[in-house]
Amino acid sequence: MKIRNPYCLSIITLLFFVPNLLLAQKTQSQKIGVSEINIPLSFPLAEKGKTATIYIDGRDADVVSIAADAFKNDINLLTNLSPIVKQDDQNLSACPVIIGTLGQSKFIDQLAKTGKINRSSLQGKWETFSISVIENPIKGVKRALVIAGSDRRGTAYGVFELSRMLGVSPLSWWADVKPATKKALFVTAGESLVGPPSVKYRGIFINDEDWGIQPWATKNMDTDVKDLGPKTYTKIFELLLRLKANYIWPAMHPSTKAFFYYKENPKIADKYAIVLGGSHCEPMLRNNVFEWAENFEHEYGKKPGEWRYDLNKNEMDKYWTDRVIEAKNYEAVYTVGMRGIHDGSMPGPKDKNEKVKLLGQVITDQREILSKNISSSLSSIPQIFCPYKEVLSLYQAGLKLPDDVTIVWADDNHGYVRQLSNPEEQKRSGGSGVYYHISYWGSPHDYLWLSSISPSLISYELTKAYQYKADRLWVINVGDIKPAEMETQFAMDLAWDINKWKPENAHNYAESWAAETFGKEFAKPIADIKAVYYRLGHEAKPEHMSSVNFTEEQANERLVAYEKIYNQAKNLSNKMPERLKDAYFELILYPVQGAYLMNQKILYAKKSLALAEKGDQTALDYSKKSRAAFEQIKLITKKYNEEIAGGKWNGMMDYRPRKLPVFDMPKVADTIVKKAIGQAESIKKPIIIKASNFDDKVAQKGSDLQNIKGLGISDSGISVYPFTTQPIQENEIATASYAVYNIDFETEGEHSIEVKCLPTQGVNNGIKVRYAISVNGDQPQIINVSPASENNIWKLNVLQGYASGITKHQITKTGKSVIKVYLLDPGVVINQLEIK
């Protein structure tokens, strides 16, 4: 092998044989890689106790020096060595790391001018970056590692992407994922060009912070102000950059003061290049529960008038104007429209049409405020309108929304998007986006403790949204961030590259994430644990255990499955290297054990009562087991708060957010009611068929009937792709895609078939979620499984994780029958058939 330019290389000590890397030769298309051994033409980042020096330009954005410093710390984490970061130093070393933004950094501009980096692949692009190893880039420099961004965030993402490749997890600080130390670090020859992202604005909403991140921040981070304040936001913003995210809806509950109350907050956001936003009920970057209801007098020297735009327009306009003036130099996405002071309907006219008119007026006036106070053209000021909860019905009732405002469609708070843009709406210049929950306070029941919405469901819903052009902005309600770290990372990875984790391969994310976080050897076992954890969580989230009824058989199955994954998780914990034990507890063991104990507590309590009714003495054993599980939840939560990572997370984990009854000790049998044990009721069991186990499928032209693992009950489902497939009319059922199931009936007569589906919502207003079913060629029966959000069937569906329809069929002969299930609407997912 011919080694050119050996000047940066030390003696090549090949500790391991890495065939593909050994053959590395720089070609135009070759991507960079990382290695612990020195491969010809690699860039030596750290070796023999020395590290390369990092150069940045002082004129570049603040976030570039923030990223460079973070990179320095990451190299230190990896090697115990500490590189020097030099600002504005022209005397580059022989092998420098150059970090900068095109148009902002003289180094990068010079490299672009001499053709050493490709200007056209960066110029004018949104959040794009290249990482390259370049030979003789500048006179006197022999080889450089160059991270160049198309804009300030692009540069920072490039730096953090390289950190991630080197082995520093984006969760390194937030979940104590400590990387293994390495003797040397090299970046192999090549060039990687990354970006632009699939979704333009991507971020998180810190919400319902009262039982986690707020008390924790008060105790451990912003101890001076005793709140969730600037020090915590600094860490949150760094996390966002590491996740290649760019947008925040800050915490907004009454327990937290408004984001803008701490003058440093928006300044830090700007330094970290994070785009400011406000939730669906906080128009114009104002936080009303604090700024209107509590602090108004302090700010304006008088009490506020009513929160009624029809009665108090001038005062409200001023309140919004002042914020726009304060924020006009920050990168921000303005939420327009209006709801109640907090999470309620806009007060004002009772008549719906009047309300719609008033809301339209609010938006018009808010835009005028933006236009008057911000120098850019109105259409270039990013604005969103989020038709959340009752606001969707106002939008549907005819609200006139300006064309350049982005519609941020919301889910039903339980992971199912309520509506997406129809073909007309897709033409709007403002485009659309999604507000999606992986944590929630509200009806029919909160889920604020653990995080159990699977990557498969997130991918299914958000990929569908993307196909309906919701690519402008995604915001994920992540609660307290912990313990939703993995799911948050997944959503941001998906927002960055929509093709990476399609619904049909999203079940593989856990393995890839676990390899990145804990190492390859633990990846498969962790993924196996997570798959069962998500499946059980889909059938009833731990927080929903007292709201979903299981048969005795189902309850036993759950407990056996949980016991198995808990044992696997515990065994794996013993094998984890010391450096990863805290991370493992936070990310895997606590959620799995917590969910298991919650199931034990509830299901054993129910069992004790049922047995006591029958006069069975073992009832008392189950009471004991239930109590033990309850006590154990308290103990592991105490451990999370007080012992893990030396008590770093004290206050973060509350096993009973909002003190809801489900978190208490349930009623158990204390005495046995002496009663004759009756005959056990015989139940005539259904035949259960996983929808994905079809005998045949027929996909109509231009569409595909896709099998999706990890989605919904029974851990798989079938759905029609693409999501934009047209709904099938009632008289055209023969043109629908369908799955075929051959079933042996042992008896003739009437049989019922329950088809269990993912409880999705119609893709557009007026579109349903229908399937049709026919047995032995009888007339297909059409079922719509999508009730309006908030009604009682919807409530049941989201708690139990499925919506279903039951049809009756006459079987005229025993033996083989042919069942056909037709998928009539985009977004219908069939999970399971139950035949009685």
User: Please, which residues have CB within 8 angstroms of residue 505's CB and are 6 or more apart in sequence?
Assistant: none
Smallest gap from Cβ 340 to ligand REL, in A, equals: 10
Which residue, among 236, 249, 267, has the nearest Cα to 433 in the 3D structure? 249
- Edge to edge, what strands does the sheet with 97-101 contain? 85-87, 54-56, 97-101, 143-149, 129-135, 191-194
User: Are residues 455 and 503 in contact, defined by beta-carbon separation less than 8 angstroms?
Assistant: no
| Spatial distance between the Cα atoms of 704 and 711, rounded to a whole number of angstroms | 17
Smallest gap from Cβ 207 to ligand REL, in A, equals: 5
Nearer to ligand REL, 437 or 820 (CB): 437
Nearer to ligand REL, 207 or 214 (CB): 207
Give Cα separations from 775 to 134, 736, 784, 787 (angstroms): 66, 16, 18, 25
Smallest gap from Cβ 222 to ligand REL, in A, equals: 20
Residue 609: count of CB within 10 angstroms of its CB: 18
The alpha helices in 292-435, defined as continuous H runs, are 296-300, 309-327, 352-373, 391-396
Smallest gap from Cβ 245 to ligand REL, in A, equals: 18
User: Are residues 685 and 732 in contact, defined by beta-carbon separation less than 8 angstroms?
Assistant: no
| Spatial distance between the Cα atoms of 169 and 348, rounded to a whole number of angstroms | 49
Q: Output the six-digit token pair for 72.
A: 């320095």
Nearer to ligand REL, 349 or 442 (CB): 442
Which residue, among 595, 496, 601, 576, has the nearest Cα to 170 in the 3D structure? 496
Q: Are strands 749-757 and 803-811 parallel, antiparallel or unpaired?
A: antiparallel
User: Are residues 130 and 140 in contact, defined by beta-carbon separation less than 8 angstroms?
Assistant: no
Give the SS3 label for residue 51: strand
Place of tokens 């790391």: 97
Nearer to ligand REL, 251 or 569 (CB): 251
Smallest gap from Cβ 437 to ligand REL, in A, equals: 6
> Checking phi first, is residue 592 left (phi over 0); if not, alpha (psi -120 to 50) or beta?
alpha
User: Are residues 162 and 236 in contact, defined by beta-carbon separation less than 8 angstroms?
Assistant: no
Smallest gap from Cβ 790 to ligand REL, in A, equals: 13
Nearer to ligand REL, 211 or 441 (CB): 441
Nearer to ligand REL, 253 or 770 (CB): 253
User: Are residues 226 and 473 in contact, defined by beta-carbon separation less than 8 angstroms?
Assistant: no
Nearer to ligand REL, 35 or 256 (CB): 256
Nearer to ligand REL, 242 or 544 (CB): 544
Give Cα separations from 617 to 410, 552, 626 (angstroms): 50, 18, 15
Nearer to ligand REL, 93 or 406 (CB): 406
Smallest gap from Cβ 334 to ligand REL, in A, equals: 17
Nearer to ligand REL, 288 or 650 (CB): 288
Smallest gap from Cβ 211 to ligand REL, in A, equals: 11
Smallest gap from Cβ 448 to ligand REL, in A, equals: 9
Smallest gap from Cβ 261 to ligand REL, in A, equals: 17
Smallest gap from Cβ 622 to ligand REL, in A, equals: 35
Nearer to ligand REL, 92 or 252 (CB): 252
Nearer to ligand REL, 440 or 663 (CB): 440
Nearer to ligand REL, 112 or 491 (CB): 491
User: Are residues 197 and 167 in contact, defined by beta-carbon separation less than 8 angstroms?
Assistant: no
Nearer to ligand REL, 262 or 440 (CB): 440
- Edge to edge, what strands does the sheet with 696-698 contain? 696-698, 737-745, 815-823, 770-775, 781-784
Nearer to ligand REL, 411 or 511 (CB): 411
Give Cα separations from 61 to 26, 104, 106, 151, 234 (angstroms): 31, 8, 13, 9, 16
Q: Output the six-digit token pair for 751.
A: 């049989």
Smallest gap from Cβ 287 to ligand REL, in A, equals: 11
Which residue, among 651, 636, 544, 628, has the nearest Cα to 594 in the 3D structure? 636
Smallest gap from Cβ 201 to ligand REL, in A, equals: 17
Which residue, among 429, 390, 385, has the nearest Cα to 408 in the 3D structure? 385
Nearer to ligand REL, 281 or 434 (CB): 281
| Spatial distance between the Cα atoms of 598 and 354, rounded to a whole number of angstroms | 48
Residue 44: CA count within 13 A, CB half-sphere: 24
Q: Output the six-digit token pair for 472.
A: 């402008």
Smallest gap from Cβ 438 to ligand REL, in A, equals: 11
Smallest gap from Cβ 281 to ligand REL, in A, equals: 6
Which residue, among 139, 140, 128, 100, has the nearest Cα to 192 in the 3D structure? 128
Smallest gap from Cβ 546 to ligand REL, in A, equals: 21
Under the rule (CB under 6 A), what is the footprint of ligand REL?
207-208, 253, 279, 281, 342-343, 413, 437, 440-442, 477
User: Are residues 212 and 485 in contact, defined by beta-carbon separation less than 8 angstroms?
Assistant: no
Place of tokens 């329809």: 805
Nearer to ligand REL, 331 or 343 (CB): 343
Smallest gap from Cβ 254 to ligand REL, in A, equals: 9
DSSP assigned state of 438:
S
Q: What is 153-222 written as a DSSP string?
A: HHHHHHHHHHHHHHT--TTTTTS--PPPP-S-EEE-S-EEEE---SSSEEEEEE-SGGGTHHHHHHHHT-
